[in-house]
Amino acid sequence: VALGTVVVGQSGGPTAVINASLAGVIDASRLSGSHVIGLRNGIDGALRNQVIDLDEVDTKALARTSSAALGSVRYKVKPQDYDAILRMFQAHDVGLFCYIGGNDSMDTAARLAELAQERGLALKVMGVPKTIDNDLPHTDHCPGYPSAARYVVSAVRDIGLDCRAMRRVYVIEIMGREAGWLPAASIMARDATGAAPHIVLLREHVWDQAKLLAAVDEAYGKYGHCVIAAAEGFDIPQVATNSGVHDAFGHVRLSGVAAHLAAIIKAERPALDPVANVLGYMQRSSTLGRSDVDAEEAYQVGCKAVELASRGATSQMVTIERAVTSPYYATLGSVPLARVANMTRKLDPKYVLNDRYDIPESFLDYVAPLVGELPVPVRLY
């Protein structure tokens, strides 16, 4: 099926491999003989008619570039925008729209596909999954997540070694507001008994100050240091938030889970003087943590979206289906956009321990093949 012009957009928070998906869309479009253009800043570019010609782009170099090279957007599409978007697509003779993004973007894509069908337009719409949160349903995992997980694992391991050498307590705040997939990955940092993280706090865990302090005491007592991997979405009730804890300079510091936990530990265990740190944007867009599996899969899902459309598919999101865990092997499939739009896949409850602030080792079977190998540190004591 001839596709006409292919238009592609990127949406939501960038990742280390979202441009690999873009490169895949471009390469597959070229193969199918299509002209390919990009929307500047996602759907915003459709509304402002800002497009970028992608026919001559060096896709090999693009695939290695982190963040969203077309620019991204968090704009929530309004009902009256859809007409304008479809008109813009018609003006550019668009036969296929590939939207690389998370749940919100899949909703936008689903509605565009529905509207195009209602109006009898020859427009296909395909979703290309992307999110470090790993919270899209019906796919084993989402491109972007393995690289973010690799960064987190490496960070927790290296910070853990640092804290061990310096006998420190350190609270690391990890992205994951709605689902704990990313902070859960931190347990892969453990290369030996007593290795970081000593405590993992997910949104799925329930706050219990005594339990946390007991865990800190135990880790610090046994191993001389303590590293806490805390999800940014971990919920500390307001009563704790307003405990009036002050930092060393007498300043109140309450926003941010890591800072908050550090303040509580400092108040209750003044000798420990914990450091609080937010990993920040590096988690999602650092080239340093890129996973090989992720880079390859992100590229392939981009290609697959175009291939499926050229065989007649529309209103689908490409999925990754794990066939074998060890050695890791996955194939690509697809699912109707309507089944993923605005849905959030929470961390499977079997991966949340309730008796302690931790994740079961069984989670490693899931996450380790995605993260890939990491150098094993030498421990001299």
- Annotated catalytic sites, by residue? 133
CB 202 within 8 A of CB 182: no
Shortest Å distance, C-beta 371 to a copy of itself: 13
Which residue, 16 or 98, has its beta carbon nearer to a copy of itself? 16
Q: What angle do CA 242, 245, 248 make, to 5 degrees?
A: 155
Residue 284 engages a copy of itself in binding (rule: CB under 8 A): yes
Backbone angles phi, psi at 100, to 5 degrees: -95, 110
Cβ-Cβ contacts under 8 Å for 22 (sequence gap 6 or more): 8, 10, 38, 62, 63, 68, 69, 70, 100, 302
Can you count the helices (H) and strands (E) in the chain? 13, 11
Between the alpha carbon of residue 273 and those of residues 5, 166, 244, the distances in Å are 59, 12, 17
Indicate left, alpha or beta for 144 from its phi (over 0: left) and psi (-120 to 50: alpha).
Answer: left
164 lines the binding site for a copy of itself (CB under 8 A): yes
Rg (CA), the chain: 22
| Residue length of the chain | 381
Q: Residues 92-131: x/- map of binding to a copy of itself (CB under 8 A)?
A: ----------------------------------------
Q: How far apart are CA 170 and CA 206, in angstroms?
A: 20
- Point out which span in 102-110, 230-238, 356-364, 370-378 binds a copy of itself (CB under 8 A): 370-378
Q: Which stretch binds a copy of itself (CB under 8 A): 13-21, 101-109, 193-201, 344-352?
A: 13-21
Candidate residues 55, 119, 280, 292; the one interacting with a copy of itself per rule CB under 8 A: 280
Residue nearer to a copy of itself on the CB measure, 284 or 345: 284
Stretch that binds a copy of itself, among 110-118, 214-222, 350-358, 369-377 (CB under 8 A): 369-377
3-class DSSP assignment, residue 295: helix
Which amino acid is located at 329 in the chain?
Answer: Y
Instruction: From 70-78, 115-123, 347-355, 363-371, give the range in contact with a copy of itself by CB under 8 A.
Output: 70-78
- Out of 84, 121, 275, 353, which residue is the one contacting a copy of itself (CB under 8 A)? 275
Binding of a copy of itself by 240 (CB under 8 A): no
Handedness of CA 182, 185, 189, 190 (dihedral sign): positive
Applying CB under 8 A, which of residues 30, 211, 253, 269 lies at the interface with a copy of itself? 253
Residue 159 in the binding site for a copy of itself (CB under 8 A): yes
Q: Does the footprint of a copy of itself cover residue 62 (CB under 8 A)? A: yes
Number of chain positions touching a copy of itself (CB under 8 A): 65
Contact set with a copy of itself (CB under 8 A): 10, 13-14, 16, 19, 38, 40-41, 52, 54, 57-58, 61-62, 64-72, 74, 151, 154-155, 158-159, 161-167, 170, 247-249, 251-255, 275, 277-282, 284-289, 375-381
